[in-house]
């Protein structure tokens, strides 16, 4: 279970969010600029909260009272960014393998083949990210996060940079990921129809605060 309770003053507005997530897919849903990405960055370890506590299955990732702030590199939280952020100088294969390499794990061809098949990116392995389509790029980004053996996956608006038709191409992959990979996911989106398909549990974020927690009934804002 992921428990998040963070406060952070961002100047223009401040974040004060408390929620928890029981495995499966939890959506952080809310309008653009509500602070969803900042919350994700604090869970991933890319932004330090002013105060609060973040823990996952008994492992404390951040606790201001106890002076704990685990580095992003040690958190093992797979993160899929809105803009993919594939490494442009590496082949797709090396992008996918990067987390395993940095984590110091032995090669696991079965896991690699499974992720590649799940996301249907086998034909891209020897290419570089430069000329991939937006949808291909995001599928590789999901695969890269999955193959680092994460304790948790964060998907930050993974479809927002794609046009509507492309979104429908990617969503089935994300549904398969949810059903086949047994990794809990936090899914950030401002798009109700997208969230409805992916997530069972919804945390609605408005101006930096948790406005409501519940099921898909929260999606009709």
Partner 1 sequence: MFDLSPQEWIAVQLSLRVALVATLVALPFGIAIAYVLARKNFWGKSLLDALVHLPLVLPPVVTGYLLLITLGRRAPVGGWLADHLGIVFSFRWTGAALACGVMAFPLVVRPIRLSIEAIDRRLEDASYTLGANGFWAFTTITLPLALPGIIAGAMLGFAKALGEFGATITFVSNIPGETQTISAAIYTLTQVPDGDHAAMQLVLVSIVISVAALVASEWLSRRAQARLHGG
Which residues sit at the interface with partner 1, rule CB under 8 A?
44-46, 71-79, 81, 83, 85, 87-89, 98-99, 102-103, 127-128, 130-132, 144-145, 148
Q: Which is nearer to partner 1, 75 or 204 (CB)?
A: 75
Q: What is the DSSP string of 106-142?
A: PP-HHHHHHHHHHHT-GGGTTS-GGG--HHHHHHHHH
Residue recorded with tokens 């090396």:
94
Q: Which is nearer to partner 1, 99 or 218 (CB)?
A: 99
CA–CA distance, 143 with 111 (Å, rounded to integer): 11
Q: Which is nearer to partner 1, 56 or 201 (CB)?
A: 56
* Cβ atoms of 78 and 102 closer than 8 Å: no
User: Nearest approach, Cβ of 216 to partner 1 (angstroms)?
Assistant: 29
User: Nearest approach, Cβ of 126 to partner 1 (angstroms)?
Assistant: 11
User: Nearest approach, Cβ of 53 to partner 1 (angstroms)?
Assistant: 20
User: Nearest approach, Cβ of 70 to partner 1 (angstroms)?
Assistant: 12
User: Nearest approach, Cβ of 96 to partner 1 (angstroms)?
Assistant: 10
CA–CA distance, 115 with 111 (Å, rounded to integer): 6
Q: Which is nearer to partner 1, 183 or 213 (CB)?
A: 183
Q: What is the DSSP string of 4-28?
A: EEEEEE-SSSEEEEEEEE-SSEEEE
Q: Which is nearer to partner 1, 17 or 43 (CB)?
A: 43
Q: What is the 3-state secondary structure (H, E, C) of 40-65?
A: HHHHHCCCCCCEEEEEECCEEEEECC
């Amino acid at each position: 279970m992921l428990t998040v309770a963070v406060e952070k003053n961002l100047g223009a507005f401040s974040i004060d969010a408390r929620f928890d997530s029981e495995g499966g897919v939890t959506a952080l849903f809310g309008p653009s600029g509500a602070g969803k990405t900042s919350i994700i960055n604090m869970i991933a370890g890319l932004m330090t909260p002013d105060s609060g506590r973040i823990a996952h299955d008994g492992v404390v990732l951040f606790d201001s009272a106890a002076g704990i702030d685990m580095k992003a590199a040690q958190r093992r939280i797979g993160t899929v960014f809105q803009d993919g952020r594939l490494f442009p100088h590496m082949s797709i294969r090396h992008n996918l393998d990067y987390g395993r390499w940095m984590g110091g794990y032995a090669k696991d061809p079965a896991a690699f083949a499974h992720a590649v098949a799940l996301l249907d990116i086998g034909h891209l392995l020897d290419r570089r990210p430069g000329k991939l389509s937006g949808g291909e790029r995001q599928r590789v980004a999901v695969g890269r996060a999955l193959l680092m053996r994460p304790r948790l996956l964060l998907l930050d608006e993974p479809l927002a940079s794609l046009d509507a038709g492309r979104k429908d191409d990617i969503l089935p992959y994300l549904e398969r990921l949810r059903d086949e990979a047994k990794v809990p996911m936090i899914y950030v989106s401002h798009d109700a129809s997208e969230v409805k398909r992916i997530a069972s549990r919804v945390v609605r974020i408005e101006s930096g605060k948790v406005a409501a927690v519940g099921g898909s009934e929260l999606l009709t804002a």
